Structure 1
Amino acid sequence: MAKRNESILKLLTQVPWWISVVLSATAFFVLKFIVPAINFQSWVLKGVAGAAPTIAYFVAIIFLVHAPISYFNSSRKRKLLDKQKDIDSIKSLSWKQFEELIAEAYRRKGYSVVENYDIGPDGGIDLVLKKDGNMFLVQCKQWRSYKVDVRVVREMYGVMTAKHAAGVIIVTSGLFTQEAKNFAVDKPIYLVEGSQVVNLIRSVQTKLTYSPDEINKPRTTANLCPVCGGELVMRVAQHGKNAGNKFWGCSNFPKCKFSKAYTG
């Protein structure tokens, strides 16, 4: 129970700051006014109701104290993402900063993101993404010189199956071995490496803290895949009821199977 309560309090530092404020106000109102007005039959519950107005202040403070922490964390992560210039700046990050960077990128892509603060580097699931009823598991590998091998991909595929997730995303600042890439083919496994990480970050940057002239490669304005960061290219469906219709497909197909309708 203590561990669960601790996890809830950690979660409050990740959600938007105003959620803590709303929870604080709601808890105070319920404990201060609603609970004491209920006519409980049990003497135990009557005792709890009598103490509720006093408890209300403490519970409200517990929720409220996380609001500034959440605001600070959100601001720090936004600045962290917007100041990344290239793969070199990304590789200079610590493993924890790298995880926070990827979390913020997918958050800006419209995903609900839960960060795992209980596991150290290379400990398994680092992020849980949710969007449109689908859950994706993310592992971040801040490996500057080594390639991520197939063993890591196999392990995450097993975790994905056990957790009944829609897919798994493995992000590395380095590269994947060819064997790892081959294993991911025809599976809901999305491998995001090196330049794709840069594309992912640039696609969601809003307030740049550096001049575009500082980087060798100009910031791209092309359509980018929201899953792996690869460039979207126009294709024509060859089979099925949509045969002959144009659509946007990920350039990393078949590793990444993301597509969206062409509206041109």
Structure 2
Amino acid sequence: MELLVIVGVFFLLCAVFFIRTVSKKKAVDKAVDVDKDDSYAFEAIGALFTAAERSFYGVLTQSLKDNYVLLGKVRVADIIKPQGNLNRSEWQTAFNQISRKHIDFVICDKDNLSILCAIELNDSSHNKADRAQRDAFLSRALSSANIPFVEFTAKRSYVIRDIQNELHQFLAQQSSQTPSADTKICPCCSSQLVERVSKRGKNQGNTFWGCSAYPKCRYVEES
């Protein structure tokens, strides 16, 4: 009698295991079928930029020299990441804060595509509380990664010289320019050193020399 009970329990466990295995396989097959299902219809959004963004993109293009690359609609998580000293939970929380956010424009060095500055074009929607909070977060996040964050107000027309003047201090770190006699060279990677201003910490407001190849090279020295 005891043997029959043991055998019965064994077959019951086998049946449960079989049912669960079949159920999982059906779920996987269903997920695969969704990928193969052509009943889902999509349509193109159209232009990558809004009319205001397209207008400003043209102005930015005219404002930049040939030694820069202008990118648009860049995911924030593609230009910054949580610091490596965070534990797994903290890292994931920090990543979630940036994973679904985008920057309107990013200016890069043409030679190595290092990021020189991030640009946001603010229309009237940025006056709303949630948008203002988002912009403030982006400013803090990019500043912590030493990436300049420049905000422009959307207008009907722009003056190219004004745009150039606003961006000059950030684009002066262009590493592909021909060094002059008084150019400072990074002792680590031989790129040019550019003068920058500390935006946080006890040295906030003080100037220092930083490598133009940042973030690939993080060499700094006192100004």
Give me the TM-score of the superposition, normalised by structure 1: 0.26
Give me the TM-score of the superposition, normalised by structure 2: 0.30
Query: Which entry has the higher C-alpha Rg, 1 or 2?
Result: 2
Greater helix proportion:
1
